[in-house]
């Protein structure tokens, strides 16, 4: 089979998968998972046919997918893929560009530069900021923190690039008590020990309590968040950031999903966030682009481009070349699906997506409260945190929903006890999917409440 026929088959299989997206089990059946054993072959001595390889991938792989690109997946904050973004991604695969610099790929560099401008516009962040399109919020937070530490050290007269960390003035980090695990991971990778990390107490909604903020100074990186993973709550930026800046601290905001509220009528939740030094956000969550796609945004463009610089004798580039703003050297132009998403949604469309999910989340919360569940968060965003009267019931209801295949959401622990969290973040989710979700939860909870 020639290359074009093979790619045609892949398109046809992808199309069939997408057509059946809304009807497939949201979490694969035990049979589909058991069938994955078919992949367990020894590495072939001689290559097998590409056609057979594609067929195996689809026939065995597709049934064992999680239908997170469908309308009834409410786990984590996953988001589906917008048609424009998914389509752009497919063309991008045909191009197979190495989007390090303009010299590597003029079209990629041009589009990512424009997309950077659009992102700053949509999020109303300082227009001179650098925007690096990285693989994930995890990687983007890491790069922001590298720039933060290097800049704070430079202000102390310490040349980090030459001297490294050995003997350097100590930099400490203040994080929310409910800081996302990936920020912790980025800090650990960067060599911040637990002793250098101070926890800021939070209130009942999971927001950093401004009245109990630990001391900050010019040796401090403060990490705040827009969108706590359980409650969707925002830290009080307007109260905290001016204090931090006055103290000379660097403020980083993890807005993996929540930062997009700023592009909607919920922008007031983010008031004051524009005064931070750096921000992280994902496109692959709430903006509904395919994976892997996230952004580091850094007010001081030079701070990021110097920290991430990877110019070489054979590969020089401008300061805003993506290889000088991200961890990657060879990289795909992951800003292109962001461009397609933003272009196809427009300002109104982004706002509409965010606002619809937030109102759907409120509808879920109201339905659950009426059905006798305890809703644990004030639903200001797209997250609903809830539980049953007893912990055993909470665990059983969560498991029953997951096993049903009709919808999926995950469990968590909130204030020491099991809880369930629903995140509305797929463009495909309609109000009738929300009704179906509520029906399902109520239906599975009847036998559970009777028995445990
Ligand atoms: C998902 C998430 C992250 C990590 O994002 P990745 O893109 O998965 O690395 C960080 N912070 C918050 C609040 C998140 O929800």
* Model confidence pLDDT, tens digit, residues 305-360: 999 999 888 888 899 999 999 999 999 999 999 999 999 999 999 999 999 999 99
- Average pLDDT over the chain reads 97
Helices first, then strands: H and E counts in the chain: 13, 11
Q: Is the pLDDT of residue 82 over 80?
A: yes
Q: Which of 182, 285, 289, 338 to mutate to test the pocket of ligand 1 (most atoms within 8 A of CB)?
A: 182
Cis peptide before 292 (omega within 30 of 0): yes
- CA-CA distance, 144 to 130, in Å (whole number)? 11
- CA-CA distance, 273 to 237, in Å (whole number)? 5
Q: Is the pLDDT of residue 182 over 80?
A: yes
In angstroms, the first-to-last Cα distance of the chain is: 58
Closest-CA residue, ligand 1 atom 1, reads 256
- CA-CA distance, 17 to 61, in Å (whole number)? 11
Contact 273, 117 (CB under 8 A): no
Q: Which residues contact 295 (CB under 8 A, 6 or more apart)?
A: 119, 131, 132, 133, 134, 140, 280, 281, 282, 283, 338
Per-residue confidence (pLDDT) for residue 38, from 0 to 100: 98
Q: What's the 224 CA to ligand 1 centre distance in angstroms?
A: 13
Q: What's the 217 CA to ligand 1 centre distance in angstroms?
A: 27
Contact 413, 419 (CB under 8 A): yes
Q: Is the pLDDT of residue 452 over 80?
A: no
Q: Which of 132, 256, 278, 296 to mutate to test the pocket of ligand 1 (most atoms within 8 A of CB)?
A: 256
Q: Which of 135, 138, 234 to mutate to test the pocket of ligand 1 (most atoms within 8 A of CB)?
A: 138
Q: Which residues contact 193 (CB under 8 A, 6 or more apart)?
A: none
Q: Is the pLDDT of residue 54 over 80?
A: yes
> Mean pLDDT across the stretch 386-405?
97
Residue 260 has phi, psi (to 5 degrees) of: -70, -15
Q: How far is CA 379 from each of CA 74, 114, 131, 361, 389, rounded to the nearest angstrom?
A: 15, 34, 30, 7, 20
- pLDDT tens digits for range 240-273: 999 999 999 999 999 999 999 999 999 999 999 9
Length of the chain, in residues: 452
State whether the beta carbon of 223 lies less than 6 angstroms from ligand 1. no
Per-residue confidence (pLDDT) for residue 30, from 0 to 100: 97
CATH number of 87-341: 3.40.640.10
DSSP code of residue 39:
G
Q: What's the 182 CA to ligand 1 centre distance in angstroms?
A: 7
1: pLDDT confidence band, cut at 50, 70 and 90?
confident
Which of 109, 49, 64 has its CA nearest to residue 336?
109
Residue 153 has phi, psi (to 5 degrees) of: -65, -40
Per-residue confidence (pLDDT) for residue 109, from 0 to 100: 98
Query: How many Cβ atoms sit within 10 Å of the Cβ of residue 393?
Result: 18
Q: Is the pLDDT of residue 419 over 90?
A: yes
State whether the beta carbon of 138 lies less than 6 angstroms from ligand 1. yes
């Amino acid at each position: 089979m020639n290359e074009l026929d093979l790619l045609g088959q892949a398109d046809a299989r992808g199309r069939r998968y997408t057509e059946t997206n809304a009807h497939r089990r949201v979490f694969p059946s035990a049979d589909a998972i058991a069938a994955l054993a078919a992949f367990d072959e020894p590495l072939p001595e001689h290559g097998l046919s590409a056609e057979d390889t594609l067929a195996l991938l689809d026939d065995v792989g597709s049934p064992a997918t999680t239908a997170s690109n469908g309308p009834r997946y409410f786990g984590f904050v996953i988001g589906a893929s917008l048609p424009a973004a998914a389509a752009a991604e497919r063309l991008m695969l045909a191009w197979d560009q190495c989007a390090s610099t303009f010299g590597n790929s003029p079209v990629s560099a041009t589009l990512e530069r424009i997309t950077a401008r659009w992102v700053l516009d949509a999020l109303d962040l300082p227009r001179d900021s650098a925007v690096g399109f990285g693989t994930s919020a995890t990687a983007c937070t890491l790069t922001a923190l590298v720039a933060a530490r290097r800049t704070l050290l430079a202000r102390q007269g310490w040349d980090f690039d030459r001297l490294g960390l050995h003997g350097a003035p100590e930099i400490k980090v203040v994080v929310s008590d409910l800081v996302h695990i990936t920020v912790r991971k980025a800090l650990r990778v960067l060599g911040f020990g637990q002793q250098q990390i101070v926890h800021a107490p939070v209130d009942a909604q999971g927001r950093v309590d401004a009245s109990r903020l630990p001391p900050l100074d010019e040796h401090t990186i403060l990490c705040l968040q827009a969108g706590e993973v359980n409650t969707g709550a925002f830290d009080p930026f307007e109260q905290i950031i001016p204090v931090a800046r006055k103290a000379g601290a660097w403020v980083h905001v993890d807005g993996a999903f929540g930062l997009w509220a700023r592009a909607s009528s919920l922008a007031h939740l983010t008031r004051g966030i524009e005064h931070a030094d750096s921000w992280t956000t994902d496109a692959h969550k709430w903006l509904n682009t395919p994976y892997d796609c996230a952004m580091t945004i850094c007010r001081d463009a030079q701070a990021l481009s110097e920290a991430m610089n990877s110019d070489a004798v054979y590969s020089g580039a401008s300061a805003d070349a993506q290889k000088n703003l991200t961890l990657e050297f060879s990289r795909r132009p992951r800003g292109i699906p962001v461009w397609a998403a933003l272009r196809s949604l427009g300002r109104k469309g982004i706002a509409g997506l965010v606002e619809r999910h937030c109102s759907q989340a409120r509808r879920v919360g109201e339905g659950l409260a009426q059905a006798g569940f305890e809703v644990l968060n004030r639903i200001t965003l797209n997250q609903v945190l809830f539980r049953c009267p007893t912990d055993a019931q909470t665990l059983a209801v969560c498991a029953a929903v997951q096993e049903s295949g009709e919808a999926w959401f995950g469990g968590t622990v909130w204030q020491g006890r099991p809880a369930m969290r629903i995140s509305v973040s797929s463009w495909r989710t309609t109000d009738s999917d929300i009704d179906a979700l509520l029906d399902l939860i109520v239906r599975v909870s009847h036998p559970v409440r009777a028995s445990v």
